[in-house]
Every structure is written in structure tokens, then in C-alpha cells.
Amino acid sequence: MEKYDRMKFATRAIKAGEGPDPATKALNTPIYETSTYAYNSTHEFEVGIEDAMSWQPGACLYSRSTNPTTIALERKIASLEGAEDAAITACGMAAVNLALLSSLNAGDHCIASDDIFCCTRSSLEDILPSKGIEVDIVNVIDIANIENKIRPNTKVIYIEALSNPRLELADIPKIAELAHKNNIRFIVDNTFLSPYLLRPLEHGADMVVHSGTKYVVGHGDALCGLVSGTKEMVDRIRYYNDNLGTHISPFDSWLALRGVRTLPIRLKAQCENAFAIAKYLEAKEEVEYVYYPGLESHPQHELAEKLLPNGFGGMVSFHLKGGYETMAKFVDSVKLMPIATSLGDVQTLIHPKQHEGNLIRLSVGCEDVEDLIADLELGFANI
């Protein structure tokens, strides 16, 4: 156990996994831009190869496998997730695919949720089946849908904790119970909440993945993926990460390290702003419905109160009365919120989703909420 692991979340976000650099005493983790590492003798080199290929902690042989900047990030993420270990990948999709590929073989069966990130859906519906893995997609909010699909060869249940874009909250403890009763690995993508708001391993999940690109990096300036679980599971992820070449660059690891130190502070502001915006939107007669787990009108609000004691997240989706033209007019009228995909940035992003029934998704940032609401007013004034 790391010395910071008993401390609280914000302390771990700043301190865990890092310390003065042993080689230089640099207080902040340096960016180790090196592809390879030099050894003093043939014997040392042989031992180095063996250590690196068996994923001994801290062993560095070649930066596709391990790199000191990335190791610091791995340790910090493991500490924040309350996991035995964590691996870092080039982006969230690498994390999602390595979690699935390292858990499933040809002939296996996977049950996954229907409200899920589009590229994950492509993997589940197209890439995995083309390699002989069967997949059933169901709405996981009703657990009976999962139960009905379980077969003897079911090896994985895969969900997003808070789904995209409907912001449905899955009952992780109940799904974990069902999975373990049937000897099934339960994998949760927790991108929309971040480890500050929810740590699925504490609720029975076996493996957690994130697009670290989002809340963990937090500033929209790097791509990054995270996978946490037992050391055995994570070593298997490392094996795939190394051999498929889906590793992160040391510079992006450094950006993620710098970003994640302020995760709790950013998330607190984002949750507060998002809740205020959700209430503001719900009161507008031009709005048909708002999805936000903090609202009493949200179908899983009670569960959200239990699972999300630190806040209900920074994502708000809503639907205006009217069709595509109304949505487009509204979105084109706001000035402070760039029209952009992605989420978790310190600045608010607005994402019109015509293929999801003209839904508007806001990734609420850390700006002053009065300015954000004034900006949304411009949208309402123009429809």
C-alpha cells in the first residue's frame, strides 16, 4: 500500500504516485521522453528484460511497455480508484477495447448496455462479433434484461455507469451481485462521472475503464485511457497495450498527471454549475425534458442519491419542444459554449445530437454559472 492510500481523495489526487524524482530531485514528475533505457552489463540487461516482461513494478526496458512518467500516472489512478493496479492507454477507446479483448475470447458471450458511446458500440456490434465473440445489447436499467440474456458462455457484462447521452444511472451493486453469482466479469466505463464521483470497484465492479481524455485530463488538451482492477487483470491489459501498441506518450501522461491533481476541485464546480443549469432548464416552458441525475424527475434519482454522495456530475442533456430546426437555432445562438464533441473540459461544451432525437448535451465547465445561464438565455430568446 502506498503511503497516501489511507488519505482522503483530494490529497491522493495531488500526492499519490508522485514525489521528488529519485534521479534529479525534481519536485514534479519529469516528462521522460525516451524510447529506451540503458543497462550497465549484459547480465543486468537480461534481468531488466525479464522484470519488464513480467511487469515488475517500476521496471523500464522500452517505452512502449513502460515509462516512468506513465508509471506515476498509473499509481495515482490506482490510488484514486481504490484499485490494486491501473494501466494507462493512448485514449479511452484503447482502454475500452483492451478491457474487452483481454476478457473475451472467440466463442465467449458478452452482455452490454444499449445507451453507450458510439465507438464502443461499433466494437461491440461489429469488431468483436467479427472475431467470433457474441454480444447481446440490452437496456441495463432493468436488470431482468441482463439476467434473461445470461448463458453458460457469458464472460462479461459491460456497462457505462452514467450512460451517454440519456444519463441513465446503472445499479452497479445489483449488477455486480448478478455477475458474480454467475461467474461473469463486470466491467464499468465510468468516464461520465470520474473517480471523484463514483468508484465502481467499491460497489462490486471487477474492472473500471475511463476515457481519461475527459474529466481526468480535464483541460481538453490530451487523449488518455485508464483501466483499473487487480494486478493480474491489469498486467493482462499491459500485455495487450504493449503488443498492440496502444500506449500513451510520456507527454500526454504528464498532462494527465497535471490535470488530475485538480479533479476534485473542478468536479465540485462542475457539479454545482450543472445542477443549477438543470434546474433552470427544467423550469423553462420551451424545454420538454431534462436528464440530470440530481433532479427529482430523473428516473434513477433515488439511486443517484445513494451512489453519488459527492455530486451528480457535470453532464446535462435536454430536449426542446420542436424539432431539428429549433434545436439548431438554439445551439447556434449561444456564444460562450463552443459546439464541440467531448466532455469534462473546464470550459462548457454544447453538443447538438440530431441522431439522438435532437437532444442537446451540455458538458458543463467551471465558468461562473450566471454567465452560462445568460448564454442559454440567448438560445431561448432566439427560438
Ligand X SMILES: Cc1ncc(COP(=O)(O)O)c(C=O)c1O
C-alpha closest to that of 362 among 266, 270, 264? 270
Residue with the CB atom nearest ligand X in the bound state: 92
For residue 226 the three cell numbers come to 485508464
Could you tell me the smallest distance in angstroms from the CB atom of residue 304 to ligand X? 17
Could you tell me the smallest distance in angstroms from the CB atom of residue 190 to ligand X? 8
Give bridge partners of residue 316 from the DSSP assignment.
362
Range in contact with ligand X (rule: CB under 6 A) among 76-84, 86-94, 271-279, 350-358: 86-94
Rounded Cα–Cα distance for residues 160 and 201 (Å): 13
Among residues 160, 206, 242, 345, the one that binds ligand X under rule CB under 6 A: 160
Residue 135, CA atoms < 13 Å, CB-side half-sphere: 24
Binding mask 100-139 vs ligand X (x if CB under 6 A, - otherwise)? -----------------x-xx-------------------
Rounded Cα–Cα distance for residues 268 and 311 (Å): 7
Among residues 97, 123, 213, 348, the one that binds ligand X under rule CB under 6 A: 213
CB of 213 within 8 A of CB of 345? no
Looking at the Cβ atoms of 189 and 345, the one nearer to ligand X is 189
Looking at the Cβ atoms of 94 and 178, the one nearer to ligand X is 94
Among residues 164, 241, 249, 317, the one that binds ligand X under rule CB under 6 A: 164
Range in contact with ligand X (rule: CB under 6 A) among 187-195, 251-259, 266-274, 282-290: 187-195
Could you tell me the smallest distance in angstroms from the CB atom of residue 272 to ligand X? 22
Q: Check residue 92 for interaction with ligand X (CB under 6 A).
A: yes
What distances in angstroms separate CA 343 from CA 134, 236, 248, 280, 363, one per listed residue?
A: 31, 29, 20, 21, 5
Could you tell me the smallest distance in angstroms from the CB atom of residue 245 to ligand X? 15
Range in contact with ligand X (rule: CB under 6 A) among 90-98, 199-207, 283-291, 297-305: 90-98
Looking at the Cβ atoms of 300 and 342, the one nearer to ligand X is 342
> Does the bond joining 165 to the residue before it have cis omega, within 30 degrees of 0?
yes
Q: Check residue 211 for interaction with ligand X (CB under 6 A).
A: yes
Q: Check residue 317 for interaction with ligand X (CB under 6 A).
A: no
Residue 380 CB coordination number (10 Å): 16
H or E, element range at 194: helix 194-197
Q: Check residue 252 for interaction with ligand X (CB under 6 A).
A: no
Strands (E), the chain: 85-89, 109-113, 134-138, 154-160, 185-189, 207-211, 225-229, 287-291, 315-320, 349-353, 359-363
Could you tell me the smallest distance in angstroms from the CB atom of residue 243 to ligand X? 19
What distances in angstroms separate CA 383 from CA 257, 275, 323, 327, 331, one per listed residue?
A: 42, 23, 11, 8, 10
Among residues 13, 86, 87, 93, the one that binds ligand X under rule CB under 6 A: 93
Q: Check residue 66 for interaction with ligand X (CB under 6 A).
A: no
Sequence-ordered list of residues with C-beta below 8 angstroms from that of 66, at least 6 positions apart, any chain:
52, 59, 60, 238
Q: Check residue 91 for interaction with ligand X (CB under 6 A).
A: yes
Q: Check residue 223 for interaction with ligand X (CB under 6 A).
A: yes
Residue 294 CB coordination number (10 Å): 19
Could you tell me the smallest distance in angstroms from the CB atom of residue 373 to ligand X? 25
| Number of residues located near ligand X, criterion CB under 6 A | 16
Rounded Cα–Cα distance for residues 69 and 75 (Å): 10
Looking at the Cβ atoms of 59 and 77, the one nearer to ligand X is 77
Could you tell me the smallest distance in angstroms from the CB atom of residue 212 to ligand X? 7
Largest CA distance in the chain: 75
Looking at the Cβ atoms of 109 and 210, the one nearer to ligand X is 210
Could you tell me the smallest distance in angstroms from the CB atom of residue 13 to ligand X? 20
The single-letter code of the amino acid at 63 is S
Rounded Cα–Cα distance for residues 125 and 78 (Å): 30
Among residues 74, 81, 85, 189, the one that binds ligand X under rule CB under 6 A: 189
Q: Which residues form the interface with ligand X (CB under 6 A)?
A: 91-93, 96, 117, 119-120, 160, 164, 189, 191-192, 211, 213, 223, 225
